[in-house]
Structure 1
């Protein structure tokens, strides 16, 4: 008989992850003389382009933060989709803090996810997961990465839909398997045929992940680029949502 899972419910101090900013290095370049005798540095054009791109990124960020109005962003998807790594990049771009729900569950339970499954079983783990995610979603301005099975739980899914904006980071089978096979701490894949197990999980879970507000396809692109795609997709989704609400109120 499985031992009931007990979680420490006190508030945890959640670390803020940030991407280090490296000092920009400018090459010596050339000084060019124009037909009118004016002089300019060869790097000026590059700096103007960089400033333009920076302004666009800042405008997108500000637009998204205004549309979110403090609501959390919840990342869902299969193990290995990149929710934690991309989530950290996304939080850094938005000036928000990132939290991994599995890490918070481990802190609350005082043991690893793998040990929770082995000692208490999946049902107790899911019940504890709901409680931890409910606590985390009470905090505004959050980017939350969730475990692969969290959004599959109807109670957790309803909670996310009512309090946050959800993003499914979708990846194909081979990409997922290549990533998860490098690590041995995936309890659901400790089977005689992990490839087949992963395929079955995908078949079961993908239709449910499809209920997320936004879907982003995960590739081997840089994580900052994927985070940027999420920002664009959320601005488009929330912008349309705002337009519908304004129309409904006759504005």
Structure 2
């Protein structure tokens, strides 16, 4: 399902009469390209539901004892994806939480199937021009090293969008405030859980 952007002005106190308070039946995993806001929106979701928030990339670095750029440089992307798969599987064995995944997590078959089976997956989708502006001058992202951000993002669209499309929920966040994006995600999540009888 897709939540379309609302043309109404952003408001932290926008009334949402159709969405009552609800609890999550299982972990919610956010997927999408770099810069889309998985960590920022994920933290706010976790606060809303009073649940733990986990950034998968941070857990990978903790488990490996080195940074993601160093893992890529020393071992390559395939090695990284295998380690990422093991870390995400371990996290899904834990309590219900909000999980922000790395941009390429869904390209790994085992990771993708595990997320699909054991979490509610939400694809946060945003215009590439917005993403290119957000990720510019961020050298800590190994896939952007010495590359034009828009070129990298276009390559990722071709490779990753077919996998992101398998997510349970799609939310077009646009260039809205974080409060507005949070409202969009909450509305879409409630509608999905209600429709699938998980509430």
Does residue 147 of structure 1 match 2:92? no
Matches within 5 A, 1:59-78: 60-62=20-22, 65=23, 68-69=24-25, 71-78=26-33
The change in CA–CA distance for 1:177 and 1:134 in structure 2 (over 3 A counts) is same
Contact 1:104–1:132 (Cα < 8 Å) also in 2: yes
- 1:176-229 Cα offsets, whole Å, 9 max, x none, are 110111311111122444422221111221121011000011222221221121
| Aligned residue number for residue 206 of structure 1 | 161
**Residue range with higher mean Cα deviation, 195-204 or 151-160:** 195-204
What is aligned with 1:13?
A: none
TM-score (norm 2): 0.87
- Aligned match for 2:78, one of 123, 139, 143: 123
Question: 1:26-49: per-residue Cα shift (whole Å, max 9, x none)?
Answer: xxxxxxxxxxxxxxxxxxxxxxxx
RMSD (Å) for aligned C-alpha atoms: 2.0
Distance 1:53 1:203, change over 3 A: same
Deviations 1:92-119 (A, max 9, x none): 1111111000000001111111011001
**Structure (1 or 2) with the larger CA radius of gyration:** 1
Structure 1: which 5+ runs fail to align?
1-49, 244-251
Aligned equivalent of 2:113 = 158
Instruction: Specify which of 154, 172, 183 is matched with residue 127 of structure 2.
Output: 172
Are 2:64 and 1:109 aligned?
yes
- The correspondence of residues 179-218 of structure 1 with structure 2, limited to 5 A, is 179-218=134-173
Give the match's secondary structure for 2:30: strand
Deviates most, 100-109 or 193-202: 193-202
Q: What secondary structure does 1:61 align onto?
A: coil
Distance in 1 of aligned mates of 2:54 and 2:179: 17
Residue 53 of structure 1: how far off its partner (Å): 4.4
Helix, strand or coil at the partner of 1:96: coil
Q: Deviations over 1:133-188 (max 9, x none)?
A: 01111122200000000011111000001101000000111011101113111111
Aligned residues: 186
In structure 2, C-alpha distance between the alignment counterparts of 1:130 and 1:89, rounded to whole Å: 25
Structure 2 residue runs of 5 or longer lacking an equivalent are: 1-12
Distance, in Å, in 1 between the alignment partners of 2:102 and 2:173 is 16
Q: Is the 8 A contact 2:135 2:149 kept in 1?
A: no
